Structure 1
Amino acid sequence: MGFIRIVPPGGPARTLALAQLTNSVGDGAYYVCSVLYFSRVVGLGPTHIGAALTLGWALGAVAGVPLGHLADRRGPRGIAILMSVATGLAVGSFLFVRSYPAFLVAVCAYTCCQCGLGAARQALLAGLVEPARRTETRAYLQSTVNAGLALGAALGGIALRLDTEGAYLTALAADGASFLVAALVLSRLRPPTGAAATAGQGGPGMGQGGPSLTVLRDRPYALVSLLNMIMLLYMPLLSVVLPLWIVERTEAPSWTVSALLVVNTVGVVLFQVRMAARVRDLPSASRALRHAGLVLLAACACFALSATGTTAWTAALLLLAAACVQVLGEMLLGSGSWEIGFALAPPDKQGQYQGFYGAGTAVARLIGPLLLTTLILSGGTLGWLLLGALFLTAGLAMGPAVRWASGRGAAGAAPGVVIEEPRKLRRPTP
């Protein structure tokens, strides 16, 4: 039953999942090895690496919108293949970087291509999958990505164990090759039909005389994207904040960090699709975001309690319980967020809208580590509670924001945009 819930049905959804699985395995190895490669092999200091990544993700957040718009104009399938190849080449360039200026250029190319690939893939999903199945398909893809990252991280762990230049080079080369293989997989997909196919060819709302980047003038969608970005600040918790919290503020053993990552990965792989089945339309998506805010507040309170554990086992058990609560909130957030991001975008402008919506991920990666480490490591329990209150506030505000956006007709689309008729959504087949 778990296998059925992880693997999507045959057709475009399964091909998209295979492409995501392919490059997520490479990404898992990259995430584990890249920082040590940049420091030990390339010879860069932590400050230089951090500054380059900050600049890169900032540029990526900006580049996602025009690259998504390009997918609308030229077709998401071709742009997704192009961005996948470009990302693979950008990763490959790390193998030859031996100076900081070259590293800076390579990082910016990598992050921009990654954000463009994300926007194009989302537009491709919207063009190939019927609206009632998009959130379900996105949940399958998320489960696939987590499984691939876990496998890639295990492979990257071998490189860390060997701790040689050759091992690090092999891990990065595998990541670059994985994007090239993913491009081949994407080439098996047929081009989308309907609104996605007519964009840029005189189609609805995208004629030569129409506005180009409508999303930049869409205030309701911008508000929804901002609230989503705030809730995405949970992302640096497991990778950055909690390792420091465990070492500095709790009695838990260091292996607890790995245990929390396993809980998160296994939870998403096994239960994300089932969680997404609860979201069928905008009202249920808003409700999922509201519940996500409540659950993430509870998770923050549980993480704060871990500092009160007087023994290693007590602290570890509190942290594991908090991780279970946190992954529930993460899955609720993903399920509601995907439905909102797709449903509020005009059908012929999914690329630019997904690029804008997806910028929240890049921004969370950009500001999250510094913001959350400062808030939590300095504030302790109060910092955790303030973060939880922030999640709750954003979750509660999402409902009114979604009603504002949906009341303007597909996120305040410009005159002349053809809006899809309301549709009856059905639950995915178990």
Structure 2
Amino acid sequence: MTTIRILPPAGPAARRLALAQLVSSLGDGAFYTTSALYFSHVVGLSPVRIGLGLTLAWAFGSAVGVPLGRLADRRGPRGTAVLLALAAGAAIGAFLVVRSFGPFLVAACFYAAAVSGLAAARQALLAGLVTKQERTAVLAHLQSTLNAGLALGAGAGGLALYAGSRGAYLAVFAMDAVSFAVCAVVLARLPVVRGAGTVAGPAAGRGVLRDRPYVLITLVNAVLLLRMPLLSLGIPLWISERTEAPEWVASALFVVNTLGVAAFQVRAARGVHSLGTATGAVRRSGLILFASCAVMALSGAAMPVWVVVAALVAGAVLHLAGEMLHSAGSWQISFDLAPAGRTGEYQGFFGTGLTVARTAGPLVLTALLVGWGVPGWLLLGGLFVAASLGLGLVVRRAEPAAALVEEPRLADDQQGVGAGQGGPQGAQSA
């Protein structure tokens, strides 16, 4: 009987990274579930101001993610990650006392910057503690842990929503602030990874924005990342406006996705270990996402409700499979094409693709799905296929440049593991 494994099976560094991920995602799951109603009912902000403030905050966080990632590269990712986890917790704590739009915007910007920088610093920390061959497998475990934590945290947030009291909302926010503090403690117990200082060699003086293939990869990947607002926004709107299915089905599909990633992401990433296998995984993901869109489009036909729901579930399962393959492939690509000693900076920039998808997603998905219906679904599926094929072409273009810094990167991996853990044996994981 095959067992589902969430935490990495071996390696103290990988397991502590997973524990830090689990702790912070528990608080985040509760926060994401309750934050909109907290800002509306407790703080007293209008939905328009909440949306505007969060949009501005995440744009700011995306912009500072690159310099914060560069700071992690130069000063050391462990210390930077610890400070940013504490900063994120402090920002959540600030939400407890804000009562107007101005302070809310400041706290939201502070939170988004800390979270964006923390994500980049964690990736740089992972690159220093885990061997190159193991990174994608460990990232798959971290993603599974993240989704499991979000699901459990969402349950706690649901209890607060059921209570509906100011005290319940404040308890959730306090829980999230504490979770980031505990995350910082866990990260502080990881081995030290030496900062790169001033980068030498072929990549010296090159900011990530001057690495045109990597910039193009990030932009093309942002198209594939439209799958995220598709699940949280596009599909619920489609169900509500264009199908006969009950609206609660959207929540059920979200749960299926969250639990599915937690259960099967590790297995989906097993075959991804190089740029070639990564581009193959992304290419397959585009085809599967197209199939998901086609099946979802069928749910808009005049059929019995149970058939409509069955089509939606089938489309969601295909979406899950495509998502996991895309995640595994994009992780491998984003790490392998980052120069030695620049992982934090490059991961900080690669993460901006998600901000682009979340910003453009509402407009694009509403126009395609609600406005155009079935043709919109097929066009969206075509975009996924085109982006998955295009990503492979850009990666092949970027490989010669990456080869120039391959030897320094391998040396850097060995130094990071040796300095942080006393030898390669300490980095064993999946």
> Helix, strand or coil for the counterpart of 2:44?
coil
Q: Is the 8 A contact 1:2 1:270 kept in 2?
A: no
Determine the structure 2 residue equivalent to 1:111: 112
Per-residue deviation at 1:369?
A: 2.1
The aligned counterpart of 2:196 is 199
Report which stretch shifted further, 84-93 or 366-375.
366-375
What is the DSSP-based 3-state SS (H/G/I as helix, E as strand, rest coil) of the residue aligned with 2:78? helix
Partner of 1:391: 384
Which structure 2 residues correspond to residues 252-331 of structure 1 after superposition, within 5 A? 252-331=245-324
- One-letter amino acid of the structure 1 residue matched with residue 408 of structure 2: V
Q: CA deviation at 1:364?
A: 1.7
Residue number in structure 2 paired with 1:226: 219
* Aligned partner of 2:236 among 243, 250, 272: 243
Distance 1:59 1:309 in 2: 45
2:61 corresponds in structure 1 to: 60
How far apart, in 2, do the equivalents of 1:353 and 1:99 lie? 36
The answer to whether structure 1 residue 366 and structure 2 residue 356 are counterparts is no
Find the aligned partners of 2:363 and 2:155 in 1 and give their Cα distance.
27
Structure 2 residue aligned with 1:33: 34
Partners of 2:107 and 2:407 lie apart in 1 by: 39
Secondary structure of the corresponding residue to residue 408 of structure 2:
coil
Whether 1:344 and 2:333 are equivalent positions in the alignment is no
Measured after TM superposition, the shift of residue 198 of structure 1 is: 4.7
Contact preservation (8 Å) 2:82, 2:184:
yes
User: Shift of the alpha carbon at 1:53?
Assistant: 1.1
Match of 1:51 in 2: 52
Please tell me whether the aligned partners of residues 279 and 329 of structure 2 are also in contact (alpha carbons under 8 angstroms): yes
- Are positions 1:420 and 2:410 aligned together? yes
Residues 91 and 172, structure 1, Cα contact 8 Å, conserved in 2: yes
Matched residue SS, 2:247: coil
Q: String of CA shifts for 1:84-127, please: whole Å, max 9, x gaps.
A: 11011111111111001111111111111111011000110011
Moved more, 234-243 or 336-345: 234-243
- Shift of the alpha carbon at 1:361? 1.5
Q: For 2:338, give the aligned amino acid.
A: A
Hey, what does 2:7 align to over in structure 1?
A: 7
Which whole-Å CA distance do the structure 2 matches of 1:57 and 1:45 have between them?
18
Q: AA paired with 2:276?
A: P
Shift of 1:205: 4.2
Letter in 2 for 1:373: T
Specify whether residues 18 and 227 from structure 1 end up closer, same or farther in structure 2 by C-alpha distance, changes over 3 A only. Answer: same
Aligned to 1:150: 151
The superposition leaves residues 212-264 of structure 1 with CA deviations (integer Å, 9 ceiling, x where unpaired) of x6211100111111111111111012211222211111111222122201211
Contact 1:205 1:348 in 2 (8 A): no
- Residue number in structure 2 paired with 1:69: 70
Report the AA paired with residue 153 of structure 1: A
Separation of aligned partners in 1, 2:200 and 2:407: 5
* Alpha-carbon distance in structure 2 between the residues aligned to 1:221 and 1:114: 22
1:61 and 1:115 in contact (8 A); partners too: yes
Q: Which runs of 5+ in 2 are unaligned?
A: 414-427
Length-normalised TM-score, structure 2: 0.92
- Distance in 1, matches of 2:264 and 2:302, equals 29
The answer to whether the Cα contact below 8 Å between 2:299 and 2:309 also exists between their aligned partners in 1 is yes
Unaligned runs of 5+ residues in structure 1 are: none
What is the RMSD computed on CA atoms of the aligned residues?
Answer: 2.0
Counterpart AA for 1:420: L
Give per-residue Cα distances to partners, 1:390-417, cap 9 Å, x unaligned: 111000011111111111125x76xx99
The structural deviation recorded for 1:311 is 2.4
Amino acid at match of 2:101: Y
Q: Conserved in 2, the CA contact under 8 Å of 1:375 and 1:383?
A: yes
State the distance in 2 between where 1:10 and 1:2 align. Answer: 21
In 1: Cα distance, 2:14 partner to 2:320 partner: 24
CA apart distance, 1:68? 0.2
1:190-217 Cα shifts (integer Å, max 9, x gaps): 012xxxx2511x553499xx42x62111
Q: Secondary structure of the residue that 1:204 maps to in structure 2?
A: coil
Alpha-carbon distance in structure 2 between the residues aligned to 1:392 and 1:108 = 35
TM-score, length basis structure 1: 0.92
For 1:319 and 1:405, locate their aligned partners in 2 and report how far apart those are by CA, in whole Å. Answer: 38
Describe the superposition over 1:14-44 as per-residue Cα deviations: whole angstroms up to 9, x where unpaired. 0000000001011111111000111111111
After TM superposition, what 4+ stretches of structure 1 lie above 3 angstroms from structure 2?
Answer: 1-4, 202-207
Deviations 1:48-78 (A, max 9, x none): 1111111111111111100000001100001
Q: Distance in 2 between matches of 1:205 and 1:37?
A: 50
